[in-house]
Amino acid sequence: MFQNNIKLLSISQLALKVGLINQKNKKPLTHTLRFWETKFKQLKPTILAGGRRYYTVKDIKVVEMIFFLLKDQGLTINGAKKSMNENLKHLDEIKTSSIKAKYYRNIIKKKSKNILKRIKKLNG
């Protein structure tokens, strides 16, 4: 779906994209994204007719950061909220930039692995 040349993802598509998947039945865990919406003020999807949620590129980046902080870094919801809230005076800026650096390293690592898999498939 396109709106003003911005690609929007449905809640199911986003859950699959970030890896929020039930391991038993392989269905997307959309309820997790709806829960995160209540906890993180930075996450505000576009809600269209029928209550369907669609996420912009900005929303996708926010979800990826939340996923990274909670799943990869092992932070609690409150810890992740503190890390994402730039207005907290007691938040150590060095630690925040360190978390962002880890986040971007993680993204690069995942993309590199995908590229290597594709190269191996091409080479046979």
Domain ranges in the chain?
Answer: 2-123
**Segments in the chain below pLDDT 70:** 1-6, 86-98
pLDDT at 6: 59
What is this structure's pTM? 0.67
pLDDT at 85: 79
pLDDT at 48: 87
State how far the Cα of 7 lies from the Cα of 61, in Å rounded to an integer.
Answer: 13
Please determine, looking at this structure, whether the domain spanning 2-123 carries the CATH number 3.30.930.10: no
Per-residue pLDDT of 32-53, as tens digits, reads: 999 999 999 999 999 888 889 9
C-alpha dihedral sign at 70, 75, 76, 79: negative
